[in-house]
Structure 1
Amino acid sequence: MKDTPRRCSLSLQLPHQNLPIQRLQDSMADLVVRNLTTTPLELKLVERFEGQPASGRETPIGNITSRITGIFNSTSITTNVRIQGEARDRRDVSFPIGPYETCTTDVRTADPGREVVRLTFESDGHRYQVDVPTSSQRSTVMKKLDGAPNEYTTIYVQTGSCLAIFSSSHLSSWMRELRDEYPLSALSIPGTHNSPTCHVALPSVRCQAVSVRDQLDNGVRFFDIRVNVNPDSSDLALVHSAFPISLTGGKYFKDMLDVVYAFLDANPSETLIMSVKREGTGKGTDQQLSKILKDRFYGDGRRWYTEPKIPKIGEVRGKIVLLRRHANDPSLNGEWGGRGWGLDGSVWPDNCADGLLGSGIARVQDFYEVDQSHNIQKKIDLARSHLERAAEPVSLLSGAQGPQPFFINFLSGSNFFNANCWPEKIAAKVNPAIVEYLCLRHGSDGKGPAGLKVGDASAGLVVTDWVGQDGDWDLIRCIVGWNGRLKLKQ
């Protein structure tokens, strides 16, 4: 089912009857609701309240956590407001919105900084309530009014007057709800770039705000790992380029794997794709790395999936899928019936907008040379374009002849010599812009940069920096939420 936009009409009394026509038009914006869930919803009640600033200063909006209702505005500054007094306007309405439908209502959105609009939705006879905007930057669960069973993530994008509603997933086990038969490349998968770089380090080296376990518990399922290789040791230190990831002591591949194994033991429905690459100042080779990994870490296959083909979800639950960004030792070429060892990412397109891996298993957006702050907008545009490409294919269960490639979309970028282009600064602009795109335009025919048609509306494999900072899992939850489209076919 496609995300179908339509105009929902309802006669409502216009507010501000004494305003001049131009001022009235300027103050009016019709609320758009995107139901990005598998359940029908109906907007039943609209209440309008006077609002007052929740704090004395203006703050940027943009948070979603595991407790789910967020207000987003990636392109401007807005003021949080809280309700003051009783509702000054209360209207019963009826706007039914089917699964993955978009409805433009006749409901005027809140006057920014001055009003709060309370929306009451109904689903399967139960009612849910959300205020737009909320009184806090923090996300909250959409209020259940009558013991309602479901939980919904609501995201308000002020720039588009759009309320996007996602089904709330348990981020620690979100793959549990998906069928075993789906190829892994059909999923919308959140990932992190230089995943374990959450420690005290140079600002240009640190890419993440929280630990590996926190990332896993909050839905991250792709890890980008860089290791230093020495020919006389099987210890693999974690690095970012030539630098260690921690200034307070070495961090090692084995210790990180123990954390991942513990998570998978506790959540056997999940799988993790791990990209492993050789970096650092060590004198070891790719071939030596491949031998160390196989002999010391990959074991009997219980923990790792190393077959060189894109797997189905059911084949890899509880395992790590190896994506190797290194060449193999020749001794591994005979593995898997002569097909080799691991998903082959050894021929990686450099600094690319849409590059094909040498093995053909993935198309990659990895433009990382963000050498001036204005290039951040170029990065955003390239990431949006790759999201649109990822949404176009149709998976095997929809009639395709073979598994689609992965669409790997790096949101990261950096420049060592420009503090405005260090990872945290770039993420502060790129991440909310992608949240906005996923809420407003993703999965809708012709709404992407190239106007492409939509297939399964996958977001692909989206690789991020600085998620989870101060509990901000906005982007991860939005990516995971797009897997709901697959569940419509189950």
Structure 2
Amino acid sequence: MPDLTIRNLTATALELKLVERLDGTPTLQRSPACAPKGDSRDRCELSVPLGRFETHGTDVQAPEPGREVVRLTFGFDGHRYQVDVPGESRRSLVMKKLDDGPHEYTVVYVTNGACVSIYSSTHLSSWMKELRDEWPLTALSIPGTHNSPTSHVALPSVRCQAVGIREQLDNGVRFFDVRVQVNSDDSKSDLILVHSAFPISLTGTKYFHDLLDDVYAFLEANPSETLIMSIKREGTGKGTDQQLSKHLHQRYAAPDNDKWWTEPRIPRLGEARGRIVLFRRHANDASLDAAHGGRGYGLDCAAWPDNCEDATTGGPGVARVQDFYEIDASHNIAKKTELVRAHLERAAELVRPPNPAPDDEHKPFFVNFLSASNFFNANCWPEKIAAKLNPATIEYMALRHGEAGKGPNGLAVGDGCTGIVATDWVGLGGDWDLIRCIVGWNARLQLKEWTLSVNAFVAVHSEPETQSRRERWRCL
């Protein structure tokens, strides 16, 4: 068996203190999942420091799949935390507190790489609360969903999600891909939710205003959060993009102006909290060109690159997109998997400062769609693709994301951001591991905040006592 590798993907330094080996009882067929059986038969105390966002090889042999469990005990500031790998299911593991430790940790164990990846646990309903107002939204690692409202009873090729909008929001999703049908007389009627030419439900028409009610209620309960909403015109209606833009403005955004961010620039987190950021995949009516001092209306992604592996939209600084979706056979999923990994690597390479200068504001969103399908091949419908691609993405994030030279193109690592990752079929059976892995990478920003504060403290402490020094102290 190979030796374990441990990745501390948190903003706290840890120490591996104790390793125990136990016999295990398999809990799932064709899976390494095990339940510990009896007392430990081997015990080794040690001291292995694990710095923040550091990866360490060990000489601890990985557990034998289906037969053995390794129990790891970690220390932080005098407190101890414990986890058994593998767990009793395929899901992520929550470290057990052995005392009143202040932190929560989640572990993803990848059997293929004998890797234990440790993430900071967070309240998924309000994960943005932990980040500073000054970060541009492009600096964040943001989980999203593709064809977000399609959780209803529908054709298998149409349904892309396991759960509804509110449950997605409560579990950390912050990018929503919404497709609406527009009729030429829609000045007073509501927009219908669709997927391509099809309704998203076989049990009755679903409307955009109901989706917004869920979003507004969530933001009222969680004012620290924001979400990005991509809106595109689809369906069989005869309306135009221009009619859609006027309808969105007049019926939805203008009456609830405090709930929408419609400026044509990427906001900082503090500016967007409590709001929907409009990411439009439709052209605007000319009447909206004068909005915001003549700068326009919404983030312009109307010229969306079709079936692309890596392309830009919206001019400089809006979005760089991976949206390759035409899968003609199930084996092409391997190509899609590599494209997803390559785009994650590109997103991780950039460095994005808080309070960016104008030049830095042109660093775009990296939008990475995990979705793909083939209407004519049941093996390539959204649920089947997600069953392969979602676990592969979790494995990549746990093993290689944020490691210099370990991505498909061997790129360096900047902030380690994942960008926007738009998924299918998350939350199935309560499985939010992929969302947790994406959100977990925001701890890299918290570490950067800590470093910036320390540097500011050192700079202030070395200056003479002046008014400017006292002012800077107040900011720390």
TM-score of the superposed pair, with normalisation by structure 1: 0.89
Q: Which residue is equivalent to 1:29?
A: 2
Aligned to 1:67: none
Does 1 or 2 have the higher relative contact order (CA < 8 Å, sep 6+)? Answer: 1
1:284-323 to structure 2, matched below 5 A, reads 284-299=239-254, 300-323=256-279
Give 5+ residue unaligned stretches, structure 2: 450-476
Residue 454 of structure 1: which of 413, 418, 425 is its match? 413
Name the CA distance, whole Å, in 1 between partners of 2:447 and 2:100.
25
Runs of 4 or more, structure 1, over 2 Å off, are 135-141, 396-401
Aligned sequence identity (%): 68
What pairs with 1:76-475 in structure 2 (closer than 5 Å)? 78-233=31-186, 234-299=189-254, 300-360=256-316, 361-397=318-354, 401-403=359-361, 404-475=363-434
Q: Check conservation: 1:347, 1:359, Cα contact below 8 A.
A: no
1:203–1:422 Cα contact (<8 Å) kept: yes
Determine the C-alpha separation between the residues in 2 that align with 1:35 and 1:141.
Answer: 14
Distance in structure 1 (CA, Å) of the matches to 2:218 and 2:118 = 29
Compute the displacement of 1:472 (Å): 0.6
- Distance in 2, matches of 1:248 and 1:397, equals 47
Partner of 1:43: 16
Q: CA shift at 1:141, angstroms?
A: 2.4
Amino acid in structure 2 at the alignment position of 1:301:
N
User: What is the alpha-carbon distance in structure 1 between the residues aligned to residue 257 and residue 190 of structure 2?
Assistant: 21
Q: Distance in 2 between matches of 1:142 and 1:94?
A: 18
3-state secondary structure, aligned to 2:206 = coil
Q: 1:140, CA displacement in angstroms?
A: 4.3
3-state SS of 2:257 partner:
coil
Task: Describe the superposition over 1:121-178 as per-residue Cα deviations: whole angstroms up to 9, x where unpaired.
Answer: 0011100000011123444421110122211010111111100000001000000010
1:489 Cα deviation from its structure 2 partner: 2.0
- Alpha-carbon deviation of 1:435? 0.5
> What is the CA–CA distance in structure 1 between the aligned matches of 2:355 and 2:2, rounded to whole Å?
38
Q: How does 1:48-67 map to 2 (within 5 A)?
A: 48-55=21-28, 57-58=29-30
Shift of 1:86: 1.6
Pairwise CA distance, 1:87: 1.0
CA distance in 1: counterparts of 2:4 and 2:76, whole angstroms: 19
Counterparts of 2:90 and 2:294, CA distance in 1:
54
Q: What's the Cα RMSD here?
A: 1.2
For residue 270 of structure 1, what is the amino acid of its counterpart? E
CA apart distance, 1:297: 0.3
User: CA separation in 2, counterparts of 1:395 and 1:224?
Assistant: 25
Give per-residue Cα distances to partners, 1:395-415, cap 9 Å, x unaligned. Answer: 123987412100000000011
Work out whether residues 92 and 433 of structure 2, in 8 Å CA contact, stay in contact via their aligned partners in 1: no
- How much has 1:327 moved relative to structure 2? 0.4
Cα deviations across residues 377-404 of structure 1 (Å, max 9, x unaligned)? 1100000000000001111239874121
Find the residue that maps to 1:321 and give its secondary structure.
strand
CA contact (8 A) 2:343 2:366 kept: yes
Query: How many Å separate the matches in 2 of 1:245 and 1:398?
Result: 40
Residues of 2 paired with 1:103 and 1:222: CA distance? 33
What letter matches 2:292 in structure 1? W
> In the alignment, what sits opposite 2:458?
none
CA distance in 2, matches of 1:238, 1:467: 20
Aligned equivalents of 2:364, 2:184: Cα separation in 1: 34
| Counterpart position of 2:457 | none
The residue aligned with 2:455 is: none
The separation in 2 between residues aligned to 1:398 and 1:38, in whole angstroms, is 21
Contact preservation (8 Å) 1:179, 1:313: yes
- Paired residues, number: 443
Q: Distance in 1 between matches of 2:425 and 2:234?
A: 21
Tell me the distance in 1 between the aligned counterparts of 2:95 and 2:46.
Answer: 19
SS of residue in 1 equivalent to 2:309: coil
Which whole-Å deviations, capped at 9, do the CAs of 1:327-370 have from their partners, x for residues lacking one? Answer: 00000111111111000010011100001104331100000101
Q: Which runs of 5+ in 1 are unaligned?
A: 1-27, 59-77
Q: Give 2:69's aligned amino acid.
A: V
2:464 maps to what in 1?
A: none
Q: Deviations over 1:199-231 (max 9, x none)?
A: 000000000000100000000000000000011
